[in-house]
Amino acid sequence: MTAILLDGKAVAARTEAELSERVRKIKAQSGQTPILATILVGDDPASATYVKMKGNACRRVGMESVAVELPASTTTEELLTTITDLNNNPDVHGILLQHPVPSQIDERACFDAIALEKDVDGVTCLGFGRMAMGEPAYGCATPQGIMRLLQAYDIPISGKHAVVVGRSPILGKPMAMMLLGKDATVTICHSRTRDLPSLVAQADILVGAVGKPEFIKAEWIKDGAVVVDAGYHPGGIGDIELAPLVDRVAAYTPVPGGVGPMTINTLIQQSVMSAEKTLA
């Protein structure tokens, strides 16, 4: 069996060309440039790299990125004030609060302070609830990126058994709701699930989002499955043992180059959508 490589990098590149044209139209019609505000609290180098990558992606499509950098000593109240200011700034069309924030900050309270119409990363409880109920909202960027990647390669979802390994509020849970919304039968598992191998073996579509390197073993996965690895760890490995699978699954995401580019691309796409609603 020759597996389909679900190339997120290629899909993201194609989408950027389309987004560049949409941004050009926004500028022509309104005389304004779409702006994504990024908030980085503290000096975590990985977070700083991610924020820089998102800023670069903005510039590639003609958007602007406003980088707000706050010290590691920032309090919840100070961060909430910053978010409120951005909510009230009509020139800002999307707000990204880089996860994680320092431990003294109530991260959930700060996520939920982001205005729904500017929640282009899909992190608020309100946005999650609306998405789960099938109402308009920006989807959480990583699972929404995965759904777009499956769509780009015409992967059937309706009627399939999807198994999501992971239950985080910004990946596993919204992923399950999005798959359910496309008529999959969804099982949510996690690191404490009993007899996890037998459940993984039932998956027509498997999403690894547990945050542990190669936690999901290739031998658990049935032939012909669609395998999506949403993890990334040092050494370029994900949450799934991928190497033995490439000759016996129907499709799989590479690590890196699969889910990661789609996450950033979805953030930018949703920022453009937000700007269109305001400016176009």
Q: What gap in Å lies between CA 108 and CA 126, rounded to an integer?
A: 12
Using an 8 Å Cβ cutoff, are 164 and 187 in contact?
yes
Which spans in 88-231 are helix H?
Answer: 107-113, 125-132, 141-152, 172-181, 196-200
Length of the chain measured in residues: 280
Sequence-ordered strand ranges (E) for the chain: 4-5, 35-41, 64-70, 94-97, 161-165, 185-189, 205-208, 226-229, 251-252
- pTM of the full structure: 0.96
Verify whether residue 25 is a known catalytic residue.
no
Verify whether residue 106 is a known catalytic residue.
no
Verify whether residue 217 is a known catalytic residue.
no
Q: What is the pLDDT of residue 230?
A: 97
Shortest CA distance to 174 belongs to which of 149, 138, 198? Answer: 138
Q: Which option is the CATH number for 141-260: 3.40.50.2300, 3.40.50.720, 4.10.110.10, 3.30.1330.80?
A: 3.40.50.720
Domains 31-128 and 141-260 share a fold: yes
Q: What spatial distance separates the first Cα and last Cα of the chain, rounded to whole Å?
A: 47
Residue-range domain boundaries for the chain: 31-128, 141-260
**Cβ neighbours, 10 Å, residue 21:** 12
Q: What is the pLDDT of residue 150?
A: 98
Q: Which of 7, 121, 204, 229 is catalytic?
A: 121
pLDDT tens, position by position, for the chain (280 residues)? Answer: 789 999 999 999 999 999 999 999 999 999 999 999 999 999 999 999 999 999 999 999 999 999 999 999 999 999 999 999 999 999 999 999 999 999 999 999 999 999 999 999 999 999 999 999 999 999 999 999 999 999 999 999 999 999 999 999 999 999 999 999 999 999 999 999 999 999 999 999 999 999 999 999 999 999 999 999 999 999 999 999 999 999 999 999 999 999 999 999 999 999 999 999 998 7
Mention every residue, 6+ apart, whose C-beta is less than 8 A from residue 41: 70, 71, 72, 74, 79, 97, 98, 101, 102, 105
Distances (CA, A) of 208 to 95, 119, 135, 160: 27, 25, 26, 16
Q: What gap in Å lies between CA 30 and CA 175, rounded to an integer?
A: 35
Shortest CA distance to 9 belongs to which of 270, 228, 260, 242? Answer: 260
What's the distance, CA 173 to chain centroid?
A: 12
Q: What is the pLDDT of residue 2?
A: 85
Q: What gap in Å lies between CA 93 and CA 117, rounded to an integer?
A: 8
Task: Tell me the DSSP string of 138-156.
Answer: PPPHHHHHHHHHHHHTT--
Architecture field, domain 31-128? 3-Layer(aba) Sandwich (3.40)
The token pair that represents 52 in the structure block: 């820089």
